[in-house]
């Protein structure tokens, strides 16, 4: 089953269970997916849906940090709950060691020599690891690989 169809089925299940928090989060995700389809006139595949989920999770993590700094634990808890719902749609993430191994292999393939080649390496990394790894960790691994 395609990820997009799974999300639709989960929305129906949440509606039947009257789970308003989960339903609201899934509706936000569907709205973001529909917006992307309308804006770009494309049919989303699983990779594109994962990219949208990643973006929504990043936004919520940023919001949690802002709410915690403003001492609004109640709002941070809501965002954290939304993150939990969204993470279900992400594939299994690579560990830090796996990320470093992949980055080292890509650096060798691309022939990168130093920090000036970061853009070239990140381009290759994004296509290979999109949706499989936290891009913040990937970026740090690339910087470390190019420094040494």
Alpha-carbon distance of 124 to 47, in angstroms, equals 16
In a shared domain, residues 100 and 80: no
In a shared domain, residues 140 and 75: no
In order of 22, 50, 84, the CA distances from 79 in angstroms are 12, 19, 9
3-state DSSP assignment of residue 61: helix
**Which range of residues forms the domain containing residue 118?**
96-147
In a shared domain, residues 82 and 101: no
In a shared domain, residues 21 and 77: yes
In a shared domain, residues 63 and 130: no
- CA neighbours closer than 13 Å in the CB half-sphere of residue 2: 10
Tokens (6 digits) for 96: 């830090």
As a residue count, the chain comes to 148
In a shared domain, residues 82 and 120: no
In a shared domain, residues 17 and 75: yes
Residues 120-136 pLDDT 10s: 778 888 777 777 777 77
CATH number at residue 12: 1.10.1510.10
**For residues 90 and 118, is the Cβ–Cβ distance under 8 A?**
no
Residues 2-56 pLDDT 10s: 889 999 999 999 999 999 999 999 999 999 999 999 999 999 888 889 889 989 9
Contacts of 53 (CB under 8 A, 6+ apart): 29, 86, 89, 90
| Domains held by the chain: number | 2
pTM of the model: 0.75
């Amino acid at each position: 089953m395609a990820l997009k169809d799974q999300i639709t089925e989960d929305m129906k299940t949440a509606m039947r269970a009257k789970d308003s928090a989960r339903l609201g989060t899934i509706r936000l995700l569907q709205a973001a997916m529909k917006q992307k389809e309308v804006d770009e006139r494309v049919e989303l595949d699983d990779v594109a849906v994962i990219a949208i989920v990643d973006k929504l999770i990043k936004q919520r993590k940023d919001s949690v940090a802002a709410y915690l700094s403003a001492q609004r634990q109640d709002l941070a808890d809501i965002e954290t709950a939304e993150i939990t719902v969204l993470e279900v749609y992400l594939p299994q993430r690579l560990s830090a060691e796996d990320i470093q191994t992949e980055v080292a292999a890509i650096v060798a393939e691309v022939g990168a020599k130093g920090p000036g080649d970061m853009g070239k390496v990140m381009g290759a990394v994004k296509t290979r690891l999109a949706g499989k790894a936290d891009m913040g960790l990937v970026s740090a691994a690339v910087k470390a690989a190019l420094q040494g």
